[in-house]
């Protein structure tokens, strides 16, 4: 990665590991193997990968909806390597307004670079969303102002989530407890503006606000990387297997989740709970009508 964010626990590896990369063929095979209709390409920083344009193109040809995550430092100069498509979205890491974002990524000026890159991508016809991780120092009024600024830029939607307490993250003091997550997101999302567009299910947002309770669905966003299929989820590294079948059929899923595993205690992150919210929407009438209500009347009590 070209950043070392204080709340990130994904890049604490020796150089010989960090310098390894998946091939395009491995990426396509993983997408084909699990059959997911949506593929998120996280990092480090994916745009550093010399074959990322080919990886994205191959997934788009398979009609996978691709979210290419990036801190946008390299995005403007790399746009020429990509073709706008309804299947390709650049998901820009934005952790708040200029002061908060630059603090979160531990480098001055990154917010301005990202804003410039967002404008350039939109001007060229690319789909653009933002992804925002919030910690216990988040100021609700400033985050709400941040929502206004992102909408004014013209992004399609915003994704928000509390940070996960990575054991290897340099900053171990800024992660949110479950109660604090409920309090913060209730302040952020109550009386929300109609102009705000979130790239998330309404029931997941209600879960963050403390209005709903869900159990994690760790297999809802299966993770494949240079080590193989990661058990049990994107956040918690508890071993790897070589096939998607092994991941699904041989993982002891009952060991994980709030109340069952210490590292799951305060987790309310989208990669585990968004799938639970979507399942609720389509598996029960109460979930379906709850989604309709939350979509049409997001500020209803």
Pull the structure tokens for residue 226.
Answer: 């240079």
Write down the residue that tokens 């709030």 correspond to.
Answer: 258
Checking if the pLDDT of 10 tops 60, the result is no
Pull the structure tokens for residue 270.
Answer: 């989208």
Pull the structure tokens for residue 228.
Answer: 């193989």
Does residue 48 contact residue 1 with C-beta atoms inside 8 Å? yes
Domain that residue 151 falls in: 15-296
Summarize pLDDT for 99-132 with one digit per residue, the tens. 998 888 888 899 999 999 999 999 999 999 999 9
Residues 6+ apart with CB under 8 A from 227: 240
Checking if the pLDDT of 12 tops 70, the result is no
Summarize pLDDT for 215-271 with one digit per residue, the tens. 999 999 999 999 999 999 988 889 999 999 999 999 999 999 888 887 888 889 888
Rounded Cα–Cα distance for residues 38 and 31 (Å): 9
Residue 301 lies in a domain: no
Residue 3 lies in a domain: no
Residue 114 lies in a domain: yes
DSSP lists the bridge partners of residue 232 as 237
DSSP lists the bridge partners of residue 127 as 89
**Across 9-24, average pLDDT:** 74
Rounded Cα–Cα distance for residues 223 and 120 (Å): 30
Rounded Cα–Cα distance for residues 53 and 39 (Å): 14
Q: How many structural domains comprise the chain?
A: 1
Predicted TM-score (pTM) of this structure: 0.91
Residue 107 lies in a domain: yes
Model confidence band, residue 178 (pLDDT cutoffs 50, 70, 90)? confident
What is residue 139's DSSP assignment?
Answer: -
CATH number of the domain that residue 226 is part of: 3.80.30.10
Pull the structure tokens for residue 12.
Answer: 């604490």
Summarize pLDDT for 265-289 with one digit per residue, the tens. 888 988 899 999 999 999 999 999 9
Residue 9 lies in a domain: no
Question: Residue 258 has what pLDDT?
Answer: 83
Summarize pLDDT for 44-97 with one digit per residue, the tens. 789 999 999 999 999 999 999 999 999 999 999 999 999 999 999 999 999 999
Pull the structure tokens for residue 172.
Answer: 């171990």
Torsions phi, psi of 11, nearest 5?
-120, 15
What is residue 116's DSSP assignment?
Answer: H
**Across 156-161, average pLDDT:** 95
Question: Residue 76 has what pLDDT?
Answer: 96
Count of C-beta atoms within a 10 Å radius of residue 193: 12
Count of C-beta atoms within a 10 Å radius of residue 198: 17
Checking if the pLDDT of 4 tops 70, the result is no
Coil, strand or helix: which one is 194? coil
> Which of 40, 13, 6, 14 has its CA nearest to residue 224?
40
Separation of first and last alpha carbons in the chain:
42
> Which of 73, 105, 102, 82 has its CA nearest to residue 7?
105
Residue 134 lies in a domain: yes
Question: Residue 216 has what pLDDT?
Answer: 93
């Amino acid at each position: 990665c070209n950043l070392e964010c204080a709340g990130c626990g994904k890049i604490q590896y020796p150089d010989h590991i960090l310098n390894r990369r998946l091939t395009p063929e491995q990426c396509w095979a993983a997408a084909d193997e699990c059959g997911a209709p949506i593929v998120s390409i996280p990092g480090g920083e994916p745009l550093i990968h010399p074959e990322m344009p080919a990886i994205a193109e191959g997934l788009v040809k398979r009609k996978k909806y691709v979210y290419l995550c990036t801190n946008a430092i390299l995005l403007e100069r790399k746009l020429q390597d990509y073709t706008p498509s309804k299947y390709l979205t650049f998901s820009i890491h934005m952790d708040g307004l200029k002061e908060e974002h630059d603090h979160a990524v531990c480098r001055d000026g990154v917010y301005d670079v990202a804003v410039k890159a967002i404008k350039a991508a939109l001007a060229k016809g690319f789909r653009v969303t933002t992804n925002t991780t919030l910690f216990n120092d988040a100021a609700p009024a400033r985050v709400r102002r941040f929502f206004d600024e992102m909408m004014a830029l013209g992004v399609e939607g915003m994704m928000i989530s509390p940070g996960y307490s990575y054991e290897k993250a340099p900053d171990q003091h800024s992660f949110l407890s479950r109660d604090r997550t409920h309090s913060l997101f209730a302040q952020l999302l109550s009386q929300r503006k109609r102009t705000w567009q979130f790239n998330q299910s309404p029931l997941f947002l209600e879960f963050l606000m403390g209005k709903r309770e869900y159990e994690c669905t760790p297999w809802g966003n299966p993770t494949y990387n240079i080590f193989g299929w990661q058990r049990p989820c994107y956040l918690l590294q508890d071993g790897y297997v070589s096939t998607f079948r092994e991941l699904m059929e041989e993982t002891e899923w009952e060991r994980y989740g709030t109340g069952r595993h210490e590292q799951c205690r305060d987790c309310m992150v989208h990669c585990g709970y968004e799938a639970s919210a979507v399942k609720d929407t389509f598996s029960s009438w109460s979930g379906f009508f709850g989604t309709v209500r939350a979509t049409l009347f997001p500020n209803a009590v």
